[in-house]
Amino acid sequence: MRVLPDVAGIDRTFDYVVPADWDAPGDPRGAIVQPGSLVRIDLHGRRVGAWVLEVDVAPPEGVTLRPLAKVSSLGPPVDVLDLARATAWRWYGRLANVLTTASPPTAVRALPLARPHVVAPQGAGVSYDEAFATAAPLVLRLPPADDAFDVLAAATRRGNALILAPSVDEARTFATRLRRSGVIVALHPRDWAVGAAGATVVGVRAAAFAPVRDLAAIVVVDEHVETYQEERMPTWHARDVCIDRARRAGVPCVLTSPAPTLDALALADERAPSRAVERAGWPIVDVVDRRRDDVGHGGLFSERIVSVLRGEGPVVCVLNRTGRSRLLACAPCGELARCERCHSAVTQRDDGALACGQCAMIRPALCASCGSQQLKNLRLGVTRAREELEALAQRPVAEVTAEHERGDRTSDLYIGTEAVLHQVRSARAVVFLDFDQELLAPRFRAGEQAMGLLVRAARVVGGRAAGGRVVVQTRLPRHEVIDAALHADPGRLVAAERETRTALGYPPFSALAVVSGVAAPAFVDRLGSTAGIDVMGPNDGRWLVRAPDHATLAEVLAAVERPPGRLRVEVDPHRV
């Protein structure tokens, strides 16, 4: 019996024997000990948990095997075990970390009886059955106003489906709706054993590793949402894990999104709705060009906003948190100071030069548009903005941030950070007071993430027919993100992003890893000048490793002997 301890710092397997009495007929312990199961072992003087990886292995010469101490629980089935191995390899992480995610939250000694599969009835809307007809992964572009439920129902018509949603709330809602149409649903991770026995499984990111007996289809809802990437090591992405899982199982995998990411499009074919359908599912987008405005005191609210505030019905204003906002604009012409190379916002260093937060490029403090040397800071926090908005609207304003809610709860005028878009379900208008913060964030996925915000806003105001509006105040009115939302055509953003990322060698046109921690210098040193990869840095104690693809990257990283000490290797970093 080969086992892997769940102890950080021990990344190797050990061999044990199953105590003879467990194998006696009628003893349940013998049946629970199988690959994936959780056991307890005596290791070097202490009792620790471990996963059974293999049974019937030939132990190495000259070691006396100790018996397993205890069996705790059933664990991930073999297909998930293989998926976990592949994930640990692809994202350069420890298998034990992935197996923790794949294991039941509380001990499972036996599986419940599976209830017979129920076929959800076909609804009145569009049929998505055809999307599941082939085993090749597919991206379904659904406009913001369209619900993914019909897609999920189609998935369950094939058998037990695995359905991932970006948030716990959405997962719960989908689970409830599917149950209402008669489908047997396990909500992951609570109903781990129900899924293992055979049911449609609904959950968030971690459900990518949920056991699903007789898995027939996988759906990842809103694949563009960032919560699908694990932030601890290994930094696996549930979308990519699901595509791999579907391929291994030979079942269809459908990703949905109003604005698919380049990463998804690199792995799956896209099916887009007709222009008419897509346009109908996006709201009207108003772009307010602020380059000519006076942005001094009180300049956060343009004339256009004042008129929006006058109408009936709830209005939501979105502004980024204080502190994160540090933008420079040219005083005479209003142009934003951006990096010439990667177009991120730049900050001014103590010596006056402009430095890019993303690619570390440095240039003199000159406006790229008019050559002026006069630059000014733009900054304003939510609390101040609320006071101004209250004065402007002459009625109470509720303030919503991720941390707290303040002000008048009965008000239908809200202001807050992007958290406000999660808390206010429906509104007549959503106003982005300063969208440039999003567009120019020093992350190479900033554009897609900004698009994600517009999608959220679009859902709050509803489709074109609902009459709602998304108002975007910006100094970059021609930015491809705004252009794409304005025309209800996310393809425009994809085209622009593809060009930039190809030119800069960013994913999905390369595979990246950021290496940091005390052991990083030694690790990078051992990486040396391996053929086929680039090592850049150090920048702030972090090195960037770039390979043409993930197979190469994983191969190269695994070939290096891991030096002692803390080492963080972030594959697919969201910040570079």
Partner DNA sequence: CGGACAAGCTGA
Partner DNA sequence: CAGCTTGTCCGG
Give the binding site for DNA (CB under 7 A).
Answer: 2, 7-10, 12-16, 42-46, 59-60, 63-66
Residue 85 in tokens: 């191995």
Nearest distance from C-beta of residue 53 to DNA, angstroms:
11
- When the beta carbons of 85 and 179 are compared against DNA, the nearer one is 85
Nearer to DNA, 69 or 359 (CB): 69
- C-beta of 10 vs 206, nearer to DNA: 10
Task: Compute the least distance from the CB of residue 68 to DNA, in Å.
Answer: 9
**b (16+ CB within 10 A) / e for 311-324:** eeebbbbbbbbeee
**Comparison of 365 and 518: residue with beta carbon closer to DNA:** 518
Q: How far apart are CA 210 and CA 411, in angstroms?
A: 42
In the complex with DNA, which residue's Cβ is closer, 58 or 531? 58
Q: Please answer whether residues 131 and 140 qualify as being in contact, where contact means their C-beta atoms are separated by less than 8 angstroms.
A: yes
Pair 369, 363: CB distance under 8 Å? no
Q: Of 45 and 364, which has the nearer Cβ to DNA?
A: 45
Q: Quick one: 477 or 517, whose CB is closer to DNA?
A: 517
What's the CA gap between 241 and 145, in Å, rounded?
27
Q: Tokens 């690790």 belong to which residue?
A: 523
| Least distance in angstroms from the C-beta of 7 to DNA | 5
- To 5 degrees, how large is the angle CA 491–CA 143–CA 453? 80
Closer residue to DNA in complex, CB, 116/564 = 564
Question: Whole-number minimum distance, CB 29 to DNA, in Å?
Answer: 18
Cα 4 to Cα 34: distance, rounded to the nearest angstrom: 13
Nearest approach, Cβ of residue 303 and DNA (Å): 58
Task: Report residue 21 as tokens.
Answer: 């009495």
CB neighbourhood size of 42 (10 A): 14
> Per residue in 370-391, is it b (16+ CB within 10 Å) or e — as a string?
eeeeebeebebebeebbebbbe
In terms of Cα–Cα distance, which of 429, 428, 399, 426 is closest to 411? 399
b/e sequence 203-239, b meaning 16+ C-beta within 10 Å: bbbbbbbbbbbebbbbbbbbbbbeebbbeebbbbbbb
Instruction: Report how far residue 342's alpha carbon sits from residue 443's, in angstroms, rounded to the nearest whole number.
Output: 10
Minimal distance, residue 57 CB to DNA, in Å: 8
Residue 75 Cβ, how far from DNA at the closest point, in Å? 19
Q: Give the Cα separation of 357 and 378 in Å (integer).
A: 17
**Cβ 46 to DNA shortest distance, Å:** 5
Q: Which is nearer to DNA, 8 or 276 (CB)?
A: 8
In the complex, minimum distance from the CB of residue 16 to DNA, in angstroms, rounded to a whole number: 5
Compute the least distance from the CB of residue 451 to DNA, in Å: 39
Q: Which is nearer to DNA, 64 or 274 (CB)?
A: 64
What φ, ψ does residue 116 adopt, rounded to 5°? Answer: -65, 145
Burial (0-12, 13-18, 19+ Cβ within 10 Å), 117 = middle
